[in-house]
Each structure stands twice: as C-alpha cells, then as structure tokens.
C-alpha cells in the first residue's frame, strides 16, 4: 500500500527503481523491441574502487568510489562526480541512466555516466579532499578520456575538483588534456556561462511553462529547495526577471517571506557564511515545509526523493521545476498528475548544465572559445526547442511531461543502438 502520511516505504526511495519504472512505462508506450529493452536498461560498465587516504591526523581511511557508464550508443559518456556521505552504487547507477536520457532529450552526442565517492567534503580539509580526488581519478582513469568518459562537477564537487581531475589525468598521459572534464575554471579551458547554466536553464523552463499555462511572470511566487550552485543562481535570475522568490533553503533549513525575500542580501550572506543560518530576513522554515508552502513555482534543487507519496498531495505549486536529479519519486508522479501539477522533469529542466558542458568540450577540442552571450544564446535555443519537443511527445501519447521526455529520449537512444547493431 502506498503510504499517505509519515515516511514513504524504503522501496520508493531507491532512485534506480524509480528510473526503471519510468523507463518501463515509456518502453511500453513505444512498443520497444525486447532485445533493445534488455540493452538499454542495463549499464554498459560499473567500476567500484577503494580510495585510501592519509588524513591530516595521520590515520588512514578508505573511501568507496564508483563510476557507472550507462551508455556509449550516442557518444562518449558524460556525467558528474558526486561527493556525499550517503552515496550508493544504486544512486550512481540511476544518475548515470538519467544522464543518458538527459543528453538524448536535448540532442547532444553523449551517453550517460556518473561517479561518486562516499565521503563528506564539508568535514574534510582541502588537502584531504584533493587526495581523495587524485586517487579516485587515478583509480578510474583507464575508462576516462575525451573520447570515452568526460566527468563534470556535481553535489560536493566544484571547479577546483575538476581542475585536480584534469591535472591528474594529464600527468598520467604526459600531456595536458583539457577536454577530459568540463565545469573547469575558465583559466584551464572552462566555458563562460557554465557555472550559471543549470540555474539559467531552470528559469528558461519556467518561462516556457508559464506560456503554456497562460500565467504571468510578474509577481509569480517561487520557492527553491537548495541554495547550492543551481538553487542560488536560479534565485538570482528569478529575482532579476521579476519573479517573487518567497522561500529558499539549504541543509541548515530555509528562509520564508510571502512578500518576497531580499535575494541580493540573502545571497551576499550565503556567499560570506556559506550557510543561510544566521540570516536576519524572513522567517525560518524547514526543508519539508518549504516543499508544501504557498507558491506558484516550486524548484526542488537539492537531492533525490524530496517529493514522495508522503507529501505530494500537499504540494501547492502549480508548476514543479526539477532543478535536482530525481527529486520526485515514481509514486509521487501519479499524485501530482492527478492534481494537475505541471512538472518539468529533471532530464529536461536541469539539462542546461550538460548542454554547456557539451559546449565546453567542443571548445576545448577546437581550442577556440566563445563569448558568454553566444553560449547563452545557443543554450536557450537548445533548451526551448527541447521543451517543445517534450511537450509534443507528451501530447502525442497523452502522457505527462516526464513520460513524454522519457519516450523521446528512449526512442532516440534506441534508434542509434539499432543502427549500430550488436558487436558479438
């Protein structure tokens, strides 16, 4: 039985099972060939490594690390590296598959991958984090490369981590290889506009959703769960564009003001303190309450499994914009659909990051770099076209936007897989 209060069942929180449920539903609608079904649902490769590191106190600790390559059908694998204390192989497996579908939805020539290390970078020194990064990179580098697998930042990692990955890889191959990662500092071959790209993409998807629903932008109330790179940049852009950001949160909790938060002041506090704790404006609100607060647009931009069967009925937003990967469980999908909530799914909504990562990879390989205005122009064109492709797919099959996105993505990956054939 699906719970209606309290915590959802453990099975509901398995992200890989959630991905497979959506995959199965889309495959059924497509009438996917059973042989292609078997090929597409299983990752191409999974690697688990042990990462021994001498900590600052002289003790040795071994961290588990993972890299999952879901598909190489459309091109090199692409996907972030996540550092978090609760990383599991099931989570990384799901994230890798989502990357395959995400790249296919926006039509860029990558397959999906994801990496993770089970550690808490917030409780580690800079030297300890660097040692984890370099040993992890050395342990998986046989499957990395501009033509093989191109990592990027994710939760708990950033531009500096990508610089260390690039340097470690380059030292092993004895020449500088900037295209082995994306999301790097601009001085090392990063792309202008990359840091802002995921948050910018969320605001573009909001604009297109409002057009579909006949809603006005001015004064539209936005609640954002997550104040990391995606959430903070989305908040800044929403504020600049005339939306009213009424709530935002981080791991310490959130801030709420139904009249609208002073976003420049809040973000200045966040940049200085690295936490929302201690901010004087608005009222304190916890992350659970933020998801069900009164708003027009809800942006879950933190982590997976935030909207579940336990709280989906109480979500009051007209539009949910999934800035994070997997923030809504499969059980919650049905509840939101029944309520008429317009969900822009993660594999479309947060695809701005991988789109500009693709641009960065292209620029590195050409050795020629674009102005930020050109990056943003090309990003907007791809995302807006993709939004309407997904909407067309959803309308054609009388399905939700999420299912429409899965149908579109799986059809594209299945076609390239069929054309390539099976090497045996």
Domain ranges of the chain: 43-179, 197-349
pLDDT, residue 218, reads 87
pLDDT tens figures, 159-207: 999 999 999 999 999 999 999 999 999 999 999 999 999 999 999 999 9
pLDDT, residue 3, reads 36
- Partners of 145 in beta bridges: 149
In this structure, how many other beta carbons lie within 10 angstroms of the beta carbon of residue 120?
A: 12
User: What ranges in 241-273 are assigned the alpha helix state H?
Assistant: 263-273
pLDDT, residue 9, reads 66
pLDDT, residue 2, reads 35
Mean pLDDT in residue range 313-340 = 96
Distance CA 48, CA 225 (A): 31
Give phi and psi for 276, each to the nearest 5. -80, -15
Distance CA 53, CA 132 (A): 6
pLDDT, residue 424, reads 74
pLDDT, residue 1, reads 30
With a cut of 90, say whether residue 274 has pLDDT above it. no
114 given a catalytic annotation: yes
Mean pLDDT in residue range 221-235 = 96
Of 78, 114, 184, 192, the catalytic one is 114
With a cut of 80, say whether residue 106 has pLDDT above it. yes
**With DSSP H G I counted as helix, E B as strand and the rest as coil, what are the percentages for the chain, rounded to 5?**
50, 15, 35
State the fold for domain 197-349: Rossmann fold (3.40.50)
CA angle 388/394/398 to nearest 5° reads 145
Q: What percent of the chain has pLDDT over 90?
A: 93
CATH-assigned architecture of domain 43-179 = 3-Layer(aba) Sandwich (3.40)
**197-349 matches 43-179 in CATH topology:** yes
Distance CA 149, CA 381 (A): 26
Burial of 400 (C-beta count, 10 Å sphere; 0-12/13-18/19+): buried
pLDDT tens figures, 35-77: 999 999 999 999 999 999 999 999 999 999 999 999 999 999 9
pTM for the whole structure: 0.94
With a cut of 80, say whether residue 379 has pLDDT above it. yes
pLDDT, residue 307, reads 97
With a cut of 90, say whether residue 404 has pLDDT above it. yes
In this structure, how many other beta carbons lie within 10 angstroms of the beta carbon of residue 227?
A: 26
Mean pLDDT in residue range 311-324 = 97
pLDDT, residue 7, reads 63
Structure tokens, 382: 């791809």
């Amino acid at each position: 039985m699906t719970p209606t209060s309290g915590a959802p069942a453990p099975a509901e929180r398995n992200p890989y099972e959630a991905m497979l449920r959506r995959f199965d539903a889309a495959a059924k609608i497509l009438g996917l060939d059973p042989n292609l079904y078997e090929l597409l649902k299983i990752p191409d490769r999974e690697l688990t490594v042990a990462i021994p590191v001498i900590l600052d106190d002289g003790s040795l600790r071994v961290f588990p690390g993972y890299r999952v390559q879901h598909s190489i059908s459309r091109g090199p694998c692409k996907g972030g590296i996540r550092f978090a204390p609760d990383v599991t192989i099931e989570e990384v497996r799901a994230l890798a598959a989502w990357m395959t579908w995400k790249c296919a939805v926006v039509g860029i020539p990558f397959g999906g991958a994801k990496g993770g290390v089970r550690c808490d970078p917030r409780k580690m020194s800079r030297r300890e984090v660097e040692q984890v990064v370099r040993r992890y990179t050395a342990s998986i580098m046989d499957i990395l490369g501009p033509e093989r697998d191109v990592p990027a930042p994710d939760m708990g990692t950033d531009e500096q981590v990508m610089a260390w990955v690039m340097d470690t890889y380059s030292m092993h191959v004895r020449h500088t290889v900037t295209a082995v990662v994306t999301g790097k500092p601009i001085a090392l071959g990063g792309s202008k506009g990359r840091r802002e790209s995921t948050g910018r993409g969320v605001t573009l998807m909001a604009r297109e959703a409002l057009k579909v629903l006949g809603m006005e932008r001015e004064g539209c109330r936005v609640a954002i769960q997550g104040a990391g790179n995606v959430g903070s940049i989305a908040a800044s852009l929403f504020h600049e564009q005339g939306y009213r950001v009424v709530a935002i949160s981080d791991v310490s909790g959130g801030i709420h003001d139904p009249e609208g938060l002073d976003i420049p002041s809040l973000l200045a506090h966040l940049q200085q303190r690295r936490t929302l704790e201690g901010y004087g404006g608005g009222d304190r609100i916890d992350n659970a309450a933020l998801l069900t607060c009164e708003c027009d647009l809800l942006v879950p931009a933190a982590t997976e499994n935030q909207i579940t069967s336990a709280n989906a009925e109480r979500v009051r937003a007209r539009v949910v914009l999934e800035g994070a990967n997997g923030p809504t469980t499969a059980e919650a999908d049905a509840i939101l659909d029944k309520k008429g909530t317009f969900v822009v799914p993660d594999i479309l909504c947060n695809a701005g990051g991988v789109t500009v990562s693709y641009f960065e990879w292209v620029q590195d390989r050409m050795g020629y770099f674009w102005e930020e205005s050109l990056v943003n122009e090309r990003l907007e064109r791809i995302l807006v076209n993709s939004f309407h492709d997904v909407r067309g797919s959803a309308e054609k099959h009388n399905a939700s936007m999420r299912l429409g996105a899965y149908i579109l993505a799986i059809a594209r990956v299945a076609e390239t897989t069929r054309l390539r054939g099976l090497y045996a």
